[in-house]
């Protein structure tokens, strides 16, 4: 069973905490992670792109000039893609890029990336983030005490929604705050350091249980 450093509410190291093998102790499945990222990014696409083909351009009923004798190349319509304001060849049309991704594979992807971060000792556990007012300095003080290098991309995972913490951390470059209820593998893939509130560990384990 893997372990992570444990910090108190002020960010001082107090020992270690055991991490669940279900979420933090599996062999990472790199292929599933690749599939997950591919599907996740595809699902973010709106797919509203659109351009007119030559058939949808207004006009074009009259031949620009006679076929022969002008010294110019023959043309049949103004709506041809080679003309300015003509149609677009192979014009993009609205479409749905969404890809289905099974729940069990989502759970496996999440457990895989968490296990990868745990094996690199990038998982940190804190008792709680108790921010009583919107103040960036209070979050920085906690992180400074912990000596976690938050200049690298860092994700804080709380057990519940904490709006004051989200707003307090909003001005810190590279720092993102989320809660266990909306956690996904892509958030973790994009960050190096993971700081988890202790009461969120059980919820994360449930998210990874297949």
Residue 114 and residue 24 share a domain:
yes
Residues 66 and 165 in one domain: no
Domain span including residue 37 = 3-45+98-208
Structure tokens belonging to residue 21: 């093998």
**Are 140 and 184 found together in one domain?**
yes
115 and 92 in one domain? no
Single out the residue in 60, 76, 96 at which a domain terminates: 96
How many structural domains does the chain have? 2
* pLDDT value of position 156: 96
Examine the domain organization and report whether 115 and 84 are in the same domain: no
pLDDT of 130 reads 86
Query: Of 62, 96, 130, which closes a domain?
Result: 96
pTM (predicted TM-score):
0.84
Q: Are residues 40 and 68 in the same domain?
A: no
**Terminal C-alpha separation, the chain:** 18
Closest CA to 114 of 26, 1, 31, 203: 26
Q: Are 99 and 15 in contact (CB under 8 A)?
A: no
Both 138 and 106 in one domain: the answer is yes
Contact 145, 51 (CB under 8 A): no
pLDDT at 60: 86
Cα separation, 107 vs 110, whole angstroms: 5
Q: Is the domain of 59 the same as that of 140?
A: no
pLDDT tens series, the chain, 210 aa:
889 999 999 999 999 999 999 999 999 999 999 999 999 999 999 999 999 999 999 988 889 999 999 999 999 999 999 999 999 999 999 999 999 999 999 999 999 999 999 999 999 999 998 888 999 999 999 999 999 888 889 999 999 999 999 999 998 999 999 999 999 999 999 999 999 999 999 999 999 998
Do residues 55 and 78 share a domain?
yes
Instruction: Note whether 39 and 52 are same-domain residues.
Output: no
Contacts of 117 (CB under 8 A, 6+ apart): 123, 188, 192, 194
So what's the pLDDT on residue 131?
86
Of 184, 189, 102, 148, the closest CA to residue 4 belongs to 148
3-7 vs 13-18, strand pairing mode? antiparallel
What confidence score (pLDDT) does residue 210 get? 82
Are 41 and 117 contained in the same domain? yes
Residues 6+ apart with CB under 8 A from 54: 60, 77, 79, 80, 81, 86, 87, 89
pLDDT, position 152: 87
Task: Looking at the structure, tell me whether residues 33 and 56 fall in a common domain.
Answer: no
């Amino acid at each position: 069973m893997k372990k992570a450093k444990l910090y108190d509410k002020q960010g001082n190291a107090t020992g270690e905490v055991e991490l669940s093998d279900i979420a933090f102790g599996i062999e990472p499945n790199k292929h599933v992670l690749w599939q997950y990222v591919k599907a996740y990014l595809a699902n973010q696409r709106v797919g509203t792109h659109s351009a007119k083909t030559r058939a949808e351009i207004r006009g074009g009923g009259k031949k620009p000039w006679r076929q022969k004798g002008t010294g110019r190349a023959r043309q049949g319509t103004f709506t041809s893609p080679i003309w300015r304001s003509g149609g677009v060849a192979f014009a993009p049309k609205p479409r749905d890029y969404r890809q289905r991704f099974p729940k069990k594979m989502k759970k496996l992807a999440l457990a895989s990336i968490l296990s990868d971060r745990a094996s690199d000792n990038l998982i940190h556990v804190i008792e709680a983030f108790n921010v009583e007012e919107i103040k960036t300095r209070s979050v920085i003080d906690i992180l400074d005490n912990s000596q976690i290098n938050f200049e690298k991309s860092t994700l804080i995972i709380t057990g519940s929604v904490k709006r004051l913490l989200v707003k307090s951390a909003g001005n810190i470059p590279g720092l993102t705050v989320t809660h266990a209820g909306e956690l996904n593998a892509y958030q973790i893939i994009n960050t190096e350091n993971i700081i988890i509130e202790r009461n969120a560990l059980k919820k994360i384990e449930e998210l990874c249980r297949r």
